[in-house]
Amino acid sequence: MMRLSLQNIGFRRGFFLAFVFGFMVRLVPEVLSFPYPIGFDTVYYAARMKSGVVWYHWSSLFSTWLVYAVLVPLYSLTEVDPFLLLKVIGPLLYGGSAAGIYYFAWRGLSWGVKKCLFASIFFAFQLAALGISWHFYRNLFGLMLLLFALPFLKKTESWKELALLAVLSLLVVLGHEYASVAMLAMVLGLVASSFLKREKMPYRVLMAILPALIVFVGSIYFRMFPASFRVETNIIRVNDGFNPHPGGLFFLVDYLSVVTPVDHYASYFELVSNVVSLFALLYLVWLPLVLVGFFRDKILDGWATLLLVGSFGCLVVPFCALEYWHRWMLMLVYPFTFYAVNGFWRVLKSRDTWVASGLRWMSWMKISRKSAIGISGVTVLLGSLFMTWPLISGRYGLLGASTTWKYFPSTMQSSSVPLQDTEGTVKAIEWLNGHMTDGSAVLVHDVFFYWNELYLDEDHTAILFTNNLEEASSLALENGFSSVYFVWWNEDIGWYGLTVPSDFVSVFESGRISVFQIL
């Protein structure tokens, strides 16, 4: 970890060290996986960069397009392989996030430089933080911006700081929707706290974030009432039971009825099992430090409350809860990091054990110096293994665990396909480019969709499906395609639970990946 005997360093040097450390930590899995991409959504970002599209329509100005405004021009200027470029972008965003942790701890919590630096290092090794950085680049980008904006929500002493808050808050809203919701929830918390305590209302803050609020409301409007526009595409989508928002708004779902590739639960008890197991995987080891170090802060109070509601609300009201509970749970790593580091610091500075005095109902919780150091060491070890360990028995989830694999991979050394199958996937699609005709189509499972976007020629028709291969096959035949292909594994690797039907014959193989054709 970090030696507490470091000589005194200034804020700027500490800030630089936080960035460099975060960058180097996140660079490790990228180097080990070279030249293959890691991260499920990474293929999507590569396809978006190659498309050259930042806005599909003027209404997209109210969407979270900011990361594309960086990636697309950067790719156009450099003209390097998009996956190679993303291998640098990912660590840069992670380094910026570690620096953001440092900055908020210093300016927002008034911590010393050493404690701030320790917070950024502790954050960099967290499973949840690494999991977000693995493929949620927009999410990571938005939260990075949020970390730099938060201190100005607490304290603005000049018009220059208000102007900076206005710019940062607008960038947050254009960066990612979850970061936007978090920022607005914290502003609402500040207003509520001022009202209840009869303090002066934060009018200056409200005035500064007004542009961001206008854009946010615009984004909500266009999600509820999308603008009508047509994008020419070679994709035919299969209606195979995909139902992301049954009986609710776009951000509220009935988890007992939802059907997506990630969220689908046969019973309430299965939902409970998934929520509890993911939380245990991500936070159980260092939860004692969080409880011991908990402290009240008008910014962190609102942030942690929102994330806890998003994470566990589905257990209280499963029929009407915030969508993607697992995404909210991953983001808990941000406020939890500050609580845990504060707990570690309390224990390390005490002569005996430290009691969780911040939470009266947890007064029985005690932790010693050795325990605190041991917990920190285990945290670093788990993060290091997650970055470097190869796929366990080829399984996508942790030891093949059925309750976590959908939300969290067993290692960063994978993408939507195992690294060893990357070349086979590309070669299979390139083979299709040379053999498909106007009268042929390829059936594309959701997992291969962005691989096809990246490598399949635009004049070839792709039929996209989520879980019903038979329905996709029938749709292809109904549309009169004479040759129908399908890209999949030629052996069962235990991923995605799909079996190739007997009437599909392999016509091309590259490693474990085959192109099948319907007889």
Total structural domains within the chain: 2
Q: 204 with 291, same domain? A: yes
Looking at the domain assignment, is residue 480 inside a domain? yes
Q: 135 with 26, same domain? A: yes
How many CA atoms lie within 13 Å of 279's alpha carbon, on the beta-carbon side? 18
Q: 219 with 285, same domain? A: yes
Q: 360 with 507, same domain? A: no
Q: Residue 10 and residue 114: Cα distance in Å, rounded?
A: 9
Radius of gyration of the chain (CA): 24
Q: Residue 150 and residue 96: Cα distance in Å, rounded?
A: 15
Q: 325 with 196, same domain? A: yes
User: What's the pLDDT tens digit per position in 232-280?
Assistant: 677 888 876 666 666 556 688 888 888 887 888 889 999 999 999 999 9
Determine the pLDDT at residue 362.
Answer: 58
Backbone phi, then psi, for 173, in 5-degree steps? -65, -35
Of 361, 383, 405, the domain-final residue: 383
Q: Residue 2 pLDDT more than 80? A: no
Q: Residue 180 pLDDT more than 80? A: yes
Of 383, 400, 430, the domain-final residue: 383
Looking at the domain assignment, is residue 426 inside a domain? yes
Q: What is the mean pLDDT of residues 282-291?
A: 94
Determine the pLDDT at residue 304.
Answer: 95
Domain residues for 472? 419-518
Contacts 24+ apart (CB under 8 A), 199-205: 202/153, 204/156, 204/162, 205/152, 205/153, 205/156, 205/162, 205/165
Q: 371 with 423, same domain? A: no
Q: Are 492 and 264 in contact (CB under 8 A)?
A: no
Q: 330 with 448, same domain? A: no
Q: 379 with 476, same domain? A: no
CB proximity list for 441: less than 8 A, separation 6 or greater: 236, 460, 461, 462, 463, 476, 479, 481, 483, 484, 485
Q: Residue 12 pLDDT more than 60? A: yes
Cα–Cα separations (whole angstroms), residue 156 to 102, 106, 161, 204, 311 = 19, 15, 6, 8, 31
Q: Are 152 and 186 in contact (CB under 8 A)?
A: no
Tokens of 422: 């990357």
Of 358, 383, 408, the domain-final residue: 383
Looking at the domain assignment, is residue 248 inside a domain? no
Q: 220 with 298, same domain? A: yes
Looking at the domain assignment, is residue 255 inside a domain? no
Determine the pLDDT at residue 439.
Answer: 87
Report the Cα–Cα distance between both ends of the chain, in Å, rounded: 59
Burial class (CB in 10 A: 0-12, 13-18, 19+), 370: exposed
User: What's the pLDDT tens digit per position in 51-103?
Assistant: 888 988 888 888 899 999 999 999 999 989 999 999 999 999 999 999 999 99
Tokens of 134: 């693995």
For 507, the enclosing helix (H) or strand (E) is: strand 504-510
Most confident of 76-90, 406-420, 486-500: 76-90
Q: Residue 129 and residue 97: Cα distance in Å, rounded?
A: 9
Looking at the domain assignment, is residue 153 inside a domain? yes
Looking at the domain assignment, is residue 395 inside a domain? no
Q: Residue 200 pLDDT more than 70? A: yes
Looking at the domain assignment, is residue 396 inside a domain? no
Cα–Cα separations (whole angstroms), residue 496 to 92, 273, 480 = 31, 20, 29
C-alpha 337: how far from its chain's center? 17
Instruction: Tell me the angle at which helices 137-154 and 298-316 cross, rounded to the nearest 10 degrees.
Output: 140
Looking at the domain assignment, is residue 402 inside a domain? no
Q: 22 with 167, same domain? A: yes
Tokens of 187: 């502003």
SS3 161: helix
By percentage, how much of the chain surpasses pLDDT 90?
Answer: 60
- Full DSSP string of 292-314: HH----HHHHHHHHHHHHHHHHH
Q: 80 with 179, same domain? A: yes
Q: 492 with 367, same domain? A: no
User: What's the pLDDT tens digit per position in 97-131?
Assistant: 999 999 999 999 999 999 999 999 999 999 999 99
